[in-house]
Amino acid sequence: MKIDDVKRRAYAMPLTNPSFPRGPYRFTDREYVIITYRTDPAAIAAVVPEPLVAPDPIVKYEFIRMPSSTGFGDYT
């Protein structure tokens, strides 16, 4: 396989059998909730692997449900 073939076909891995279809994608009727809270700096430092460092003791957790996603179907 030549580099031009890779550049033309490479939009997902693995190259010969991508895990998702080629875009463009359209997501409609999305439902989501985002929870953001401040936590203990020592607690977040205990779960962030070295050499990464959490700049702030802020946790963000997001749930998304996309019942109509082009090429993906019902995606949660």
Is the pLDDT higher at 55 or at 23?
55
Per the structure block, which two tokens stand in for 2? 């030549």
pTM: 0.52
For 51-68, the pLDDT digits (tens) are 888 899 999 999 999 888
| Domain assignments of the chain as residue spans, ordered by start | 20-75
Query: How many C-beta atoms surround the C-beta of residue 18 within 10 A?
Result: 13
- pLDDT of 59 reads 92
Read off φ and ψ for residue 8, nearest 5 degrees.
-75, -35
